[in-house]
């Protein structure tokens, strides 16, 4: 190969190298831009997640507070019900209840199922003490009677 031709080839290789260098620089710039975009997207996603979580927490707090406030304004605080079975000649029976303010309650009884024997009794009295509802029936005739009961406790703090 002649020297002038070699010079031209080297000059062309120099131009190719320069062009490749420029292309690599531009590719690096595109990569930097892509990294910046990725960082921006990650930051935006994190901000959205934080905002969403904060909004969810605010809604939960608001709903919890509202429900608690409504519960305080409701005239009925609690309702419980059940059955007390009194058998044979026994005149007293009891049931376990969630403690209530007895002064703020209405207690209702209904005579239920009668099984065997002569059962002619009704609830003659009741008492609420701690977590126990106790009833007394008027007669202790042989036989079994189931007394259904319900307790409605009213809120006393309605202003």
| The pLDDT of residue 113 | 61
Averaged pLDDT, 138-153:
84
pLDDT higher than threshold 70 for residue 112: no
Half-sphere exposure of 77 (CA within 13 A, CB side): 17
User: How far is the C-alpha of 43 from the C-alpha of 35, rounded, in Å?
Assistant: 12
Is the residue at 9 inside a domain? Answer: yes
Residue 13 backbone dihedrals phi, psi, to 5 degrees = -65, -35
Residue 89 backbone dihedrals phi, psi, to 5 degrees = -95, 10
Q: What is the pLDDT of residues 39-53, one digit of tens each?
A: 989 999 989 999 999
Q: What global pTM score does this model have?
A: 0.54
Phi-psi domain of 16 (left: phi exceeds 0; alpha: psi -120 through 50; beta: other)? alpha
Is the residue at 48 inside a domain? Answer: yes
User: How far is the C-alpha of 130 from the C-alpha of 61, rounded, in Å?
Assistant: 33
Q: What is the pLDDT of residues 18-44, one digit of tens each?
A: 888 888 888 888 888 888 999 989 999
Instruction: Verify that 66 and 48 share a domain, yes or no.
Output: yes
Instruction: Verify that 34 and 99 share a domain, yes or no.
Output: no
| The pLDDT of residue 101 | 94
Query: Which is higher by pLDDT, 140 or 50?
Result: 50
pLDDT higher than threshold 80 for residue 1: no
Is the residue at 159 inside a domain? Answer: no
| The pLDDT of residue 153 | 95
pLDDT higher than threshold 70 for residue 120: no
CATH of the domain at 137: 2.60.40
Q: State how many domains the chain has.
A: 2
User: How far is the C-alpha of 6 from the C-alpha of 139, rounded, in Å?
Assistant: 130
Phi-psi domain of 130 (left: phi exceeds 0; alpha: psi -120 through 50; beta: other)? left
Instruction: Verify that 16 and 33 share a domain, yes or no.
Output: yes
Domain of residue 57, residue span? 1-73
Determine which of 70-74, 85-89, 108-112 has the lowest per-residue pLDDT on average.
Answer: 70-74
Is the residue at 46 inside a domain? Answer: yes
């Amino acid at each position: 190969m002649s020297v002038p031709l070699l010079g031209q080839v080297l000059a062309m290789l120099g131009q190719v190298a320069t062009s490749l260098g420029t292309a690599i620089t531009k590719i690096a710039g595109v990569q930097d831009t892509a990294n910046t975009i990725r960082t921006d997207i990650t930051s935006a996603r994190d901000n959205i997640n934080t905002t969403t979580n904060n909004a969810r927490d605010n809604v939960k707090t608001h709903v919890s507070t509202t429900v608690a406030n409504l519960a305080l304004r409701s005239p009925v605080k609690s309702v419980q019900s059940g059955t007390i079975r009194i058998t044979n000649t026994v005149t007293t029976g009891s049931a376990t209840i969630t403690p209530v303010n007895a002064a703020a309650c209405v207690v209702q009884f209904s005579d239920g199922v009668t099984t065997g024997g002569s059962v002619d009794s009704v609830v003659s009295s009741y008492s609420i003490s701690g977590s126990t509802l106790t009833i007394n029936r008027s007669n202790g005739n042989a036989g079994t009677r189931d007394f259904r009961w319900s307790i409605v406790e009213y809120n006393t703090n309605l202003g």
